[in-house]
Chains A and B, each alone.
Chain A
């Protein structure tokens, strides 16, 4: 069943040949298609198994920051943050980027000390960050439970945006530049000959192409395996929720490693957030769980006690593909000419604008931009993992907290 009206979707059947096939019509795939089209790369098609943004792109927590703890992460994500500031103008569609600030909350003295160490690095990169003490955080978030506050880092020009608006914006901007977007089109095989990709087979026919990008989100590993490429990612379910709209009580986006949670209040008043269990369980299910609902309720009440009695309006699940170091996999697949990876995302919403531009540069020029280089899939073979420590992600590896 192919619904008729989907923003940016191309009517009719896919053609027999394209210059680039992007597998996955989420934010990564659509943004990359847009950036490639801007570089006049040729005929580009995005193949989406469901509808654009149906996966993690429409299910994430929509939070945006670049105040991380390593050169690699700050490099990539600050490039992205700069693009977010003008993304609405660039795409000719208001993605509702709200520059409300982003607070990485420290609930213990130990966490505050780590934040203090990160601050110097972040300032060296020119980020607009400040270290806040207990009182300053209370002034910023008056409803937050005082016992949860030791201090925190606030990034002033960060915040959140609307994830569906961002998907529509990229889809329509890409379509205007001639990109074809085919929803409800499932990739079933990838043709390889002489160490290079040659074609993509879908349930609607065979497409020949010299370039295939795997931007398939939760299904990225399955897609790569179709080409014989093994991407070391594991799939986890994350759950999130939104409450009924309330009068404004929270201005900045807030991440709290202590509760392994992240949240913000939208302009309409809904409180949106997600938490992660202490021990993540690999899952490809997108059903919601009672455990998840409980985890969120318990933790968000710890953070904002007056949310007690407020209804969860919706609760949903999405998939992330997590690597050993939680950083995304960006670049070419070394063993297969023409096969590119744009997957393994956990912070994919904030990272998409920069990753797309840099990946487009790589595909168009065959040179890896320096910002992108540390994120290549080779790092898992060479052991040069990225030791980012400021993530709010549950990890089986224990590399992040």
Chain B
């Protein structure tokens, strides 16, 4: 594939989104999509088929749905983005309840799914006309405007209120159903939040040391990022999952979002509309990390997603996010994901790295290799352009991504390089992570959790997660123990080691009490 501008050739003729037929040709996709049983659910009144084990988001993408919702102010289309329940881009009305994150909600037979916040419909939202006025409405404009005319402000404020909000209130049927929602207390010595490599290792170590362990996992299955990474660890993850599932004294709760750590010492876990309360003697946070977004024009178009999210779709659900992707990178993680997506059957046109190389050639940043030579060779051999030294990126499209333009950095003493455009329907962003340390902060307002400012030097250069980890304060006896990406672990081995250490410490703490 060459890097010529194909945008002029008109819209992509290929069907956007991926059917099962498309997945048929991707034997490398893990997850056994074809083997799974079919499930029928209702999307805006239309019956749609999913595979058992799909999330709502994965099923919708497999059925060609790309626009998941609308932004609050300008009604811009929004699509699948983080794939981990971290953002609200995929929120929809499910069974009469607003704001359900479809990327972590498994499909159930007969489920009703509707998009929110648009008129007459999310597919064609006339309220998007609001965006035409956007040049008149810079961020925070209302703090400057109307300050001298309370009447005008009052009128505008009433008009704004009419198009604001996201979902409607829950339906009366949903409210009636919620009367049966349960709130239960679970006894546990040790609570582990997060079912990735670190969390599973911590749970296994704590249970092995004799503690009663509760492991809560936000998504629908254990494994975390590691399970999605074919090259680095899906085998390791599968082993951990099997051992965790078989372990004594270890209870696993999936689809469980630990959202609060209250002053009483209680951790509250939302499980759908049910609530699980735990008062553990020790807590291990293996909550992973948030993918950092990349700000560029039209970053929010459907089709722009994190590399992690794209990989998860392919590896867990056997669904490809689109047909042709450009990967925009600011970390090394991108290259492995690119190869994995390529192997899964997605056409990858280019991996464009913001970072500049010393010699202007792809493959290393400041003398540090961005990926192993084999990965780079394979990407090149399979026609993937490797670009480094980006100044900026612009995505184009209306309802979803149609093309991307990459503007290279100028180099002193050399003629300016020309911008390259690619026709694509998917842009995967990989720009590093920041720790998902919210619960740690809730647990210790006084600041016993601090961000570590040290960059891990072990790998010889900037790495995913390095230097970003929160560290726990051993002097705070009731504070959280942290393990994995949230604590700055870079490799799977580090996550496992940290998890085991945290699990042991938690068991000691719990059994001493």
Residues of A within 8 A of B296 (CB): none
The answer to whether B268 touches A244, judged by C-beta atoms less than 8 angstroms apart, is: no
**Bound Cα distance from A268 to B167, whole angstroms:** 12
The answer to whether A99 touches B154, judged by C-beta atoms less than 8 angstroms apart, is: yes
7 contacts across the A-B interface (CB closer than 8 A): A246-B168, A247-B117, A247-B165, A287-B263, A306-B170, A307-B169, A310-B170
**Bound Cα distance from A249 to B169, whole angstroms:** 8
The answer to whether A94 touches B161, judged by C-beta atoms less than 8 angstroms apart, is: no
The answer to whether A293 touches B260, judged by C-beta atoms less than 8 angstroms apart, is: yes
Residues of A within 8 A of B (CB): 85-86, 88-89, 91-94, 96-99, 143, 165, 168, 244-249, 267-269, 285-291, 293, 305-311, 315
B422-451 CB mask vs A (1 if < 8 Å, else 0) is 000000000000000000001001000000
**Residue from the set B160, B178, B263 with the largest chain A CB neighbour count within 10 Å:** B263
The answer to whether B169 touches A311, judged by C-beta atoms less than 8 angstroms apart, is: no
Name the one of A86, A247, A286, A291 contacting B167, with C-beta atoms under 8 angstroms: A247
> A98 with B157: in contact, given A246-B165, A267-B164, A290-B268 (CB under 8 Å)?
yes
Name the one of A89, A91, A99, A244 contacting B99, with C-beta atoms under 8 angstroms: A244
Give the residue name and chain of the B residue nearest to A248 (CB): B161
The answer to whether B260 touches A88, judged by C-beta atoms less than 8 angstroms apart, is: no
> A286 with B445: in contact, given A94-B146, A309-B97 (CB under 8 Å)?
yes
**Bound Cα distance from A331 to B90, whole angstroms:** 54
**Bound Cα distance from A85 to B148, whole angstroms:** 11
Give the residue name and chain of the B residue nearest to A286 (CB): B445
**Bound Cα distance from A315 to B263, whole angstroms:** 12
Q: Please classify how large the interface on chain B is, using the bins under 10, 10 to 19, 20 to 34, 35 or more.
A: 35 or more
**Shortest Cβ gap from A108 to chain B (Å):** 25
Q: Is B166 close to A, CB under 8 A?
A: yes
**Bound Cα distance from A285 to B147, whole angstroms:** 37
Q: Which of B259-284 contact A (CB under 8 A)?
A: 260, 262-264, 266, 268, 273, 277
Q: Which of B120-152 contact A (CB under 8 A)?
A: 142-148, 150
The answer to whether B264 touches A291, judged by C-beta atoms less than 8 angstroms apart, is: yes
The answer to whether B178 touches A86, judged by C-beta atoms less than 8 angstroms apart, is: no
Give the residue name and chain of the B residue nearest to A91 (CB): B147
B171-191 CB mask vs A (1 if < 8 Å, else 0) is 010110010000000000000
**Shortest Cβ gap from B32 to chain A (Å):** 33
The answer to whether A93 touches B147, judged by C-beta atoms less than 8 angstroms apart, is: yes
Residues of A within 8 A of B170 (CB): 306-310
> A94 with B153: in contact, given A267-B164, A290-B264 (CB under 8 Å)?
yes
The answer to whether B262 touches A267, judged by C-beta atoms less than 8 angstroms apart, is: no
**Bound Cα distance from A248 to B163, whole angstroms:** 9
Give the residue name and chain of the A residue nearest to B154 (CB): A99
Q: Is B2 close to A, CB under 8 A?
A: no
Residues of B within 8 A of A308 (CB): 170, 174-175, 178
Q: Which of B16-64 contact A (CB under 8 A)?
A: none
**Shortest Cβ gap from A262 to chain B (Å):** 19
Q: Is B98 close to A, CB under 8 A?
A: yes
Residues of A within 8 A of B88 (CB): 244
Give the residue name and chain of the A residue nearest to B266 (CB): A290
Give the residue name and chain of the A residue nearest to B101 (CB): A311
Name the one of A94, A245, A290 contacting B144, with C-beta atoms under 8 angstroms: A94
Nearest 8 Cβ contacts at the A-B interface: A269-B165, A247-B165, A287-B263, A88-B147, A290-B262, A309-B170, A306-B169, A94-B147
Residues of B within 8 A of A168 (CB): 143
**Bound Cα distance from A52 to B374, whole angstroms:** 54
Give the residue name and chain of the B residue nearest to A246 (CB): B165
Give the residue name and chain of the B residue nearest to A85 (CB): B150
Residues of B within 8 A of A93 (CB): 143-144, 147
Give the residue name and chain of the A residue nearest to B143 (CB): A94
The answer to whether B260 touches A288, judged by C-beta atoms less than 8 angstroms apart, is: yes
The answer to whether B268 touches A89, judged by C-beta atoms less than 8 angstroms apart, is: no
> A309 with B147: in contact, given A96-B142, A267-B161 (CB under 8 Å)?
no
The answer to whether A309 touches B266, judged by C-beta atoms less than 8 angstroms apart, is: no
Residues of A within 8 A of B157 (CB): 96, 98, 267
Name the one of A89, A143, A306 contacting B150, with C-beta atoms under 8 angstroms: A89
The answer to whether B263 touches A288, judged by C-beta atoms less than 8 angstroms apart, is: yes
**Shortest Cβ gap from B10 to chain A (Å):** 38
Q: Is B72 close to A, CB under 8 A?
A: yes
**Shortest Cβ gap from B306 to chain A (Å):** 22
**Bound Cα distance from A319 to B169, whole angstroms:** 31
Residues of A within 8 A of B164 (CB): 245, 247-248, 267-269
**Bound Cα distance from A267 to B168, whole angstroms:** 14
Q: Is B162 close to A, CB under 8 A?
A: yes
**Bound Cα distance from A290 to B265, whole angstroms:** 9
**Shortest Cβ gap from A191 to chain B (Å):** 30
Give the residue name and chain of the B residue nearest to A270 (CB): B165
> A289 with B175: in contact, given A89-B147, A98-B157 (CB under 8 Å)?
no
Q: Which of B359-388 contact A (CB under 8 A)?
A: none
Name the one of B142, B165, B260 contacting A94, with C-beta atoms under 8 angstroms: B142
Q: Which of B387-439 contact A (CB under 8 A)?
A: none
Residues of B within 8 A of A97 (CB): 150, 153
**Shortest Cβ gap from A144 to chain B (Å):** 12
**Known interface pairs A269-B72, A306-B172; 18 further A-B residue pairs with C-beta atoms within 8 A, sorted by A's residue number:** A86-B150, A88-B148, A89-B150, A92-B147, A93-B143, A94-B146, A97-B153, A98-B157, A99-B154, A246-B98, A247-B117, A248-B162, A290-B262, A290-B264, A290-B266, A307-B169, A308-B178, A310-B98
